[in-house]
Structure 1
Amino acid sequence: MEKYVDLIKIIQNNFNKLSKGQKLIAEFIINEYDKAAFMTAATLGQTVGVSESTVVRFANTLGYDGYRELQKELQELIKNKLTTVQRLTLANEFSTRENALKKVMQKDTDNIEKTINEIDFHTFEQAVELILNADSIYVLGLRSSSFLAGYLGFYLNFLLDNVKIVTSGPNDVFEQLLKADKNDIIIGISYPRYSKRTLEALEYGKGKGCKIISITDSLISPAAQNADVTLLASSNMVSFVDSLVAPMSLINAFIVAIGMEKRNDITSYFEDLEKIWKKYNVYDVNSKDN
C-alpha cells in the first residue's frame, strides 16, 4: 500500500465501485472517522449493519492488506484532535536526544515527500490565478500558523500592491476583514489543532463573497469547508510539536510561482529596494542572503 496516500481520498476515489454494504462503511468512516478508528471490524460492521467479512473486504478493495492496516491509518487521522497533553505522551518513542533529532527530521522529510506525491497541480495553478486577479489579498493564520502567514505575507508584499496580513492584534480579525468583498481573496492557513478564530474568519469572509484559498493538511480539515481552492501540505506531528516544514515548502513554491508571473513588474522595484537596503545598511555587507 502506498504510504503517502490520504485514506479519505482513497475512499472518495473508490466510492462508486463499492458494493451497497461497503458504501455504508465508507459513509460512516468519512462522517465518523474518529469513532471508527477504535472499532474492531466486527463492531464497525454491526454499527452500519453489515457483516465483519464485508468490512474486511472493504479494506481489501481499497488496497489494504487487512482491516488492521486501514484502522492504523484512521488512528493517524484522529491524532489531529488530540490535546497538547495527550500529544505530549507520544514523545515516549524518543529514547535519546539523538533518536529525537533523527526521528523528528525524518518525519519532516516524510511530510514533504507526502506533499509532493499528493499535490494537485491544477489546484495549485487555480490558486495562483486567483491571487493574480484579486483586488486585495488577505493572509490569515493564527497561533502556530501565524508564522506561516507572516512569511507568506512578507514575500507577497514584494510582489503585489494589495496584500494585508490579518493578525490577532488590537483589532479583531473581523474588523480587519471588514472591507473585504467579492473581488478579494482570503488565504487561510490552518493546521491541527485548528484555530476556531481562523475558521470563523474564513466563514465570515465567505459570507462577504470573498474567494477563499485554504492551506491546510487534509480535505477533511475544517479549514477546507469554506474554501474555493484547497492546497494540501502534510503536517503529521511528532509529539506536541507541529510539523510545519511541508507547509512552508508549499508556500515557498507558491511565492515563486507568483513571482514568475510578476517578474517584469518587480525587477525595477527590487533594484530600488537594493539601493535602499544598501543606503541604510539593512544587511551585512559581507552577506548575500536575506
Structure 2
Amino acid sequence: MNEGGTVGASADRVLDLFQGVRLTPTQRRIAHSLVQHAAAAAYLSAAEVAELAGVSQPSVTRFAVALGHDGYPALRRRLRELTGTGGAGEPSGGGNELQRAVGTEVANLERLAGELADTDRIAAVGKLLAASRPLPVLGLRAAAPLAAYFAFFAAKVHPDVRVLDDGGSLLADRLEQAAAAGATALLAFVLPRYPRETLDALAEARAAGLTVVAITDSPVSPATEHAEVVLPAAVGTDLVFDLHTAPMTLAMVVLSAICDAAPAETQRRLEAFESSAARRQLFLG
C-alpha cells in the first residue's frame, strides 16, 4: 500500500452523511473508514466495519444511531442509495486509466472550489498564520514536499517560516522552541497514510499553546481530533502513488490569504526580494 489510498469518487456523497453531526473520536474513526472504503462500504457488515476502524461492533451500531438511523442495516441501505450498485464508487467517464486519474483530479479541484465559497473563513486563517512569528509548518513523510513547497514561497512574505519535516524526539523540541520564540499557530499538512508521529506532533503543538491549522484529505481524517481548523482537499488515489493536486492548490490559497492579511509588509518584502534577485542575477528572464 502506498502512502495514500483514501477518498474515492463516491466519497463526497458518503461525506454528506456526516455534515453537521458532532462525532466522537471513535465515531470519526468509523466515518473515516467508510470514506476510505466508499466503494465497498455499502456491502460491509457491522463486524467488518468495526474491524476496519479498529473499534467494537456496538460502537458501529451507536454510530449509525448517531446519524439518525435505527441501526447499522439502515445505515448500510442509505450507503447503497448514495453509492449505487454495480461498480459503485468507480470514476465515471471514458478514456484510459491515466485520463480517468486526471479526471478525478479535476473533480477534486472542483470540490475544493466549492469548499472555498466561504472566503471569510480563509481570510481568518490567513490572519491567524500571518500573525504567528515564527510560523512553523509541519509535514512528515509524504506530506514533507508540500510543507517545503509552501514554506519556500511563504518565506518571501513572512519573516520566519520554520519547516518541520523530520520526526523523532527533536520534533517536540522544535515545536516547543517555536512556541517559546513567539509562535501562536502551526500549519500542518496531514496526508495519508497519516504518520503516527504527525498526530503526536499535533498533540504536542496544542500542548505548547499553538493553534493548529490542518490541510488534510478529508473532513473526517485523524487530524480533526487535534486541529482547531481543518481545511480539506481530496487526494487522488487512481495511480500507484497518491496525487496531491488539490492539497497543493489549497496550500497556495492559504498563502495568498496570508499575503492579504498583511498587504503592505507583503509588498515591501517582495520588492526587496526582486531587488536582491536582480543584483545577484538569479534568473535568466
TM-score by length of 2: 0.71
Post-superposition CA distance 1:65-117 (Å, at most 9, x none): 727639988xx7xxxxxxxxxxxxx9xx9xxxx82431221121111111122
Amino acid at match of 2:109: I
Q: Which residue does 2:211 correspond to in 1?
A: 211
1:236–1:271 Cα change, 3 Å: closer
Cα pair distance change 1:164/1:67, threshold 3 Å: closer
Contact 2:127 2:261 in 1 (8 A): no
State the one-letter code of the partner of 1:263.
P
Residue 163 of structure 1 and its aligned partner are, at CA, apart by: 1.6
Count of aligned pairs between the two proteins: 251
Alignment-derived partner of residue 172 in structure 1: 170
Rounded Cα–Cα distance in structure 1 between residues aligned with 2:227 and 2:98: 36
- Superposition deviation, residue 244 in structure 1: 0.5
C-alpha deviation, 1:11, in angstroms:
3.0
CA RMSD of aligned residues (A): 4.1
Answer with 172-181 or 212-221: which moved more: 172-181
CA distance in 2, matches of 1:179, 1:125: 27
- Which one-letter code corresponds to 1:132 in the other structure? A
Q: Unaligned regions of 5+ residues in structure 1, if any?
A: 17-22, 77-89
- TM-score computed with the length of structure 1 as normaliser: 0.70
- Residue 48 (structure 1) aligned with residue 64 (structure 2): no
Query: Aligned residue for 1:5?
Result: 12
Percent identity between the aligned chains? 21
Structure 1 residues 6 and 223, CA gap change in structure 2 (3 angstroms): farther
- Please state how far the C-alpha of 1:171 moved relative to its aligned partner: 8.0
Equivalent position of 2:81 in the other structure? 66
- Structure possessing the higher radius of gyration over alpha carbons: 1
Q: 1:79-228, aligned counterparts within 5 Å?
A: 99-119=96-116, 121=118, 122-168=120-166, 172-181=170-179, 183-228=183-228
Letter in 2 for 1:126: A
* Deviation, structure 1 residue 246: 0.4
**Other-structure match for 2:231:** 231
> Once structures 1 and 2 are overlaid, which stretch shifts more, 130-139 or 175-184?
175-184
CA distance in 1 between counterparts of 2:223 and 2:139 reads 11
CA contact (8 A) 1:135 1:162 kept: yes
Letter in 1 for 2:220: I
Bigger relative contact order, structure 1 or 2 (CA pairs below 8 A, ≥6 apart): 2
